[in-house]
Chain A
Amino acid sequence: MIKKSPTLQGLRYVHIEESEAEVARIQQALRAGGYEPQPLSVQTADELAAAIEQAEWDLILTDWTLPTITAKAALVQLADRGVDLPVIVVSKVAGEEVIIDALKAGAHD
């Protein structure tokens, strides 16, 4: 059970990321920025679909490319399901092409 700090703002998000270390690092960065992170980590399209169905979320964070799902495919899946959530791509690569593709697919950053 997550204990909420009274001064931190709760942030419920789905994190599409295969590395647990990355999930933890981002959680730490968000906590340092004044949020109380409540992430659900997923690695496949099915897990993403199930996560979307089971709860209300504030945000989607996603790596650009995973072996099982790409951010672009995830964004298309979200759009197909009529999910209207801000999506931020957090990637190791950030070429111009990646940025344009991500924004075109509906990412906010």
Chain B
Amino acid sequence: MLKDRLVRLVPAVKQALQKDAERKAYRVMEEALRENQSDFRKLVEGAPLGIVLLDAQLRYTKVNQAFCRMVGYREDELIGQTYKLVTHPDDLAQNMALVGDMLNHQQTGYQLQKRYVRKDGRTIWVTEHPVSGALLKSRCHVLAAFVVDMTERKEAEAQLRLSKLSIDQAGEAILWFDLSAWIIDVNEAACVMLGYSKDELCRMAVHDIMVSAMPDLWPALRSSLKQGETVRFEAINRTKDAGSFLSM
């Protein structure tokens, strides 16, 4: 800027101030973005569910600690490996088809219950929720997945199925009541003994079938049951065909 051409001074000052303001705003934005990325990294790293990112060759490029614990491999053992490393051989074909569909943009994401084979050889059940890199607007990752360990739930479900099967197959009639004395479930033996279908029984109350002493007994019985006590009593039960039998 020449001293004898001060006509340029004001535009130069305006331009310099504007550029300065833009530069500083950009720097603040960059800093906020860095902080966000840092917060996001901490969130992913500390998340209780497994989170993985895969590149175009479907190799792990990022895995969080929850995923490492789930599959029993260290992070450095997983990075560079494909998802085939941990996928159960019997689930691989279906998994590959779903990934193929998603990458051909037929899907943006899906949910799959599948098995992993851990490093120690143990099989675990997981639910995978993959999302395509296109959805994430990621240039270097084609796929991200959130993985939930379902092993405990699967085992609990199996236990429950087994318990239900045992109850259903039991020779004794078993009826479940709510605290208002309505029947909420029965086993097969109860249906046979009382002559009602399961649906019919589930629309009835305890007084409809246990006719002796129940109106007087129920308040005390309910109070005991609420306290977690076991109660034994005798009752005369009325069957659908107007017959009756004594139960304990």
Q: What separation, in Å, do the CA atoms of A87 and B12 have in the docked complex?
A: 10
| A22 and B9 contacting across the interface, CB-CB below 8 Å | no
Q: What separation, in Å, do the CA atoms of A13 and B1 have in the docked complex?
A: 16
Within 8 A of A (CB), among B1-54: 1-4, 6, 9-10, 12-17, 19-20, 24
| A58 and B2 contacting across the interface, CB-CB below 8 Å | no
Instruction: Please classify the interface of chain A as helix (H, G, I), strand (E, B), loop, or mixed, using the class held by over half of its residues.
Output: mixed
- Asked if A52 lies at the interface with its beta carbon under 8 angstroms from chain B, I say no
Residue of B nearest to A28 (CB): B6
| A90 and B10 contacting across the interface, CB-CB below 8 Å | no
- Asked if A49 lies at the interface with its beta carbon under 8 angstroms from chain B, I say no
Q: Provided the pairs A22-B3, A90-B3, A94-B2 are in contact, do residues A85 and B20 lie with their beta carbons within 8 angstroms?
A: yes
| A30 and B9 contacting across the interface, CB-CB below 8 Å | yes
Residue of A nearest to B18 (CB): A86
Scoring A85, A91, A92, A109 by chain B CB atoms within 10 A of each residue's CB, the highest score goes to A109
Q: Provided the pairs A26-B6, A85-B20, A86-B19 are in contact, do residues A59 and B1 lie with their beta carbons within 8 angstroms?
A: no
Residue of B nearest to A25 (CB): B6
Residue of A nearest to B8 (CB): A109
User: Nearest chain A CB to B16's CB is how many angstroms away?
Assistant: 4
A90 cross-chain contacts in B, Cβ below 8 A: 1-3, 6, 9
